[in-house]
C-alpha cells in the first residue's frame, strides 16, 4: 500500500482552515504542514490540526513528506509560490484567482507541466451537485438553444472585512469584488455557457467609501454560442443573499439559488427531474453575508480529486488551464469599465486597467 499523499497549506489565514478540514476529510490524504510568514498564525493552525509549522516556503518545500501544496496566500502572491512549489516537484492546488495576469497564469501552467505535477484551482462552486446537474443537462442538449446565462450576486462585506488586512483593499492584489468574490461566478458562467466573446462592464463603489475599490460590478456578456448574459456582483448589499444563477434555453430553464435548485423546467420532462429539483435542498451557507460563512465540502472534493488523480495517473477535474478564460473575462470587465466601452475577447494583459480608478 502506498503512503497517503502529504499536503501542506501555504497561508494560514481565513481560507486555510477550510483546506485543513478538506485534507483531513479526504481519503488517502494527510496534512503534514502549515506555512505562514506570520509565526503565530502558522503555529495556531498547525497545533489545531496536528501538523508541523513552517514560516518560510523554501524550508517547507524541503520536507520530503510533502507531496502537494495548497496555495492559500493573497492573490498577488500565488504566482511565485506556485513556481517555487512546482520546481520542488510538488503538486499544487491554488486558490482563486490563480494569478493576477494571463502571462502569469501561462507561466505557472508551463512550469507545472514541465515539472510533471498536477495544477488545480479551487473554484469549488463547479463541483456543487446542482451545478453538475445543469452542466449535464446542457451537455445532453436539454435546454435547446442557449439564450441567457445570468448571475446575480448580491453579497455583503463590512468595512472591517476590507480593513482586516492590507491586501484586501488593494486593487493590485486583486481585491475588488469582480476579481475577488465574483471570480467564482464568472468561472461558473463560462463553465456552463462556454467562452465569452465580448464584455461591457460598469463598476462602482456603492457602500464602502473608505476603500478605493469597486464593490459593485454589472456586466453584459456575449457568449460565443450566441447566448447573452448578465452578471451583477456586489459586496455592498446588506445582509447579503445567496447567488442566483439562471440558465435559459429554448427548451428549458434552470435557476439555482446558493446550492439549491430553485427552478428546473424542461419541455420534455425526464425520470430524474423530480430528484434534480431537490438538489442542494440540504445545502449550507454560501458566503453571502461573510467571507468565512461557507462549508469545506467543495474544497474536500477537490483535495480528494487531487489525491485520486495522482493515484490514477490522470488530470485533475479543475486544471488551472480551464480557469484561464475566467481570468480573461474578469480582465476584460476591468478594461471595459476603465475605457467606458465594450471589449472583445481575447484580451491582452493591461496593467493600466488594473490600476486605474475603474469606478463610474
Ligand X SMILES: NC(=O)c1ccc[n+]([C@@H]2O[C@H](COP(=O)([O-])OP(=O)(O)OC[C@H]3O[C@@H](n4cnc5c(N)ncnc54)[C@H](O)[C@@H]3O)[C@@H](O)[C@H]2O)c1
Is residue 122 at the binding interface for ligand X, with CB under 6 A as the rule? yes
Is residue 79 at the binding interface for ligand X, with CB under 6 A as the rule? no
- In whole angstroms, the minimum distance from the beta carbon of 137 to ligand X comes to 25
Question: How far is it, in rounded angstroms, from Cα 344 to Cα 133?
Answer: 30
Helix axes 16-25, 297-312, angle to 10 degrees: 50
Which position among 25, 28, 37, 212 is part of the footprint of ligand X (CB under 6 A)? 37
Is residue 290 at the binding interface for ligand X, with CB under 6 A as the rule? no
Number of helices (H) and strands (E), helices first, in the chain? 12, 14
Taking the least distance from each CB to ligand X, the nearer of 227 and 245 is 245
Residue 301 belongs to what H/E stretch? helix 297-312
Sites for ligand X among residues 52-71 (CB under 6 A): 57
Closest CA to 348 of 102, 48, 54: 102
Closest CA to 9 of 294, 101, 49, 40: 49
Which position among 38, 65, 159, 348 is part of the footprint of ligand X (CB under 6 A)? 38
- In whole angstroms, the minimum distance from the beta carbon of 320 to ligand X comes to 13
Is residue 43 at the binding interface for ligand X, with CB under 6 A as the rule? no
Q: What is the DSSP annotation of 79-110? A: HHHHHHHHHTT-EEEEPSSS-SSHHHHHHHHH
Task: Give the interface size with ligand X as a residue count (CB under 6 A).
Answer: 24
Sites for ligand X among residues 138-167 (CB under 6 A): 165
Taking the least distance from each CB to ligand X, the nearer of 55 and 266 is 55
Question: How far is it, in rounded angstroms, from Cα 12 to Cα 19?
Answer: 10
Taking the least distance from each CB to ligand X, the nearer of 32 and 276 is 32
Helix axes 78-87, 102-115, angle to 10 degrees: 10
Stretch that binds ligand X, among 11-19, 197-205, 265-273, 352-360 (CB under 6 A): 11-19
Q: Are 255 and 298 in contact (CB under 8 A)?
A: no
Sites for ligand X among residues 82-111 (CB under 6 A): 95-96
- In whole angstroms, the minimum distance from the beta carbon of 212 to ligand X comes to 18
List contacts with ligand X (CB under 6 A). Answer: 11-16, 35-38, 41, 57, 72-75, 77, 95-96, 122, 124, 165, 180, 291
Amino acid at each position: 500500500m502506498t503512503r497517503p499523499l502529504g499536503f501542506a497549506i501555504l497561508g494560514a489565514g481565513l481560507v486555510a482552515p477550510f483546506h485543513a478540514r478538506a485534507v483531513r476529510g479526504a481519503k488517502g490524504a494527510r496534512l503534514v504542514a502549515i506555512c505562514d510568514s506570520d509565526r503565530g498564525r502558522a503555529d495556531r493552525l498547525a497545533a489545531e490540526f496536528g501538523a508541523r509549522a513552517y514560516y518560510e516556503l523554501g524550508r517547507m518545500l524541503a520536507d520530503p513528506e510533502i507531496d502537494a501544496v495548497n496555495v492559500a496566500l493573497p492573490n498577488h502572491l500565488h504566482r511565485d509560490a506556485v513556481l517555487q512549489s512546482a520546481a520542488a516537484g510538488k503538486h499544487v492546488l491554488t486558490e482563486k484567482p490563480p494569478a493576477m495576469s494571463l502571462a502569469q497564469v501561462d507561466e505557472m501552467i508551463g512550469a507545472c507541466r514541465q515539472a510533471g505535477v498536477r495544477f488545480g484551482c479551487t473554484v469549488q462552486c463547479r463541483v456543487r451537485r446542482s451545478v453538475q446537474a445543469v452542466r449535464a443537462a446542457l451537455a445532453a442538449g436539454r435546454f435547446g438553444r442557449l439564450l441567457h446565462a445570468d448571475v446575480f450576486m448580491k453579497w455583503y462585506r463590512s468595512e472591517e472585512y476590507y480593513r482586516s488586512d492590507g491586501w484586501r483593499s488593494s486593487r493590485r492584489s486583486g481585491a475588488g469584488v469582480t476579481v475577488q468574490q465574483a471570480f467564482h461566478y464568472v468561472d461558473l458562467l463560462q463553465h456552463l455557457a462556454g467562452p465569452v466573446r465580448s464584455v461591457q462592464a460598469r463598476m462602482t463603489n456603492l457602500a464602502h467609501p473608505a476603500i478605493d475599490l469597486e464593490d459593485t460590478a454589472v456586466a453584459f456578456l456575449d457568449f460565443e454560442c450566441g447566448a447573452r448574459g448578465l452578471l451583477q456582483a456586489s459586496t455592498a448589499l446588506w445582509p447579503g443573499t445567496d447567488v442566483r444563477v439562471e440558465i435559459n434555453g429554448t427548451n428549458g430553464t434552470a435557476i439555482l439559488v446558493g446550492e439549491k435548485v430553485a427552478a428546473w423546467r424542461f419541455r420534455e420532462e425526464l425520470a430524474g427531474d423530480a430528484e434534480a429539483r431537490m438538489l442542494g435542498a440540504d445545502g449550507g451557507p454560501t458566503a453571502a453575508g461573510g467571507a468565512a460563512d461557507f462549508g469545506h465540502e467543495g474544497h474536500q472534493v477537490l483535495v480528494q480529486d487531487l489525491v485520486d488523480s495522482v493515484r490514477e495517473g490522470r488530470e485533475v477535474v479543475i486544471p488551472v488551464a480551464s480557469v484561464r478564460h475566467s481570468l480573461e473575462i474578469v480582465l476584460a470587465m476591468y478594461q471595459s469599465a476603465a475605457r467606458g466601452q465594450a471589449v472583445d475577447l481575447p484580451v491582452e494583459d493591461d496593467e493600466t486597467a488594473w490600476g486605474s480608478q475603474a469606478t463610474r
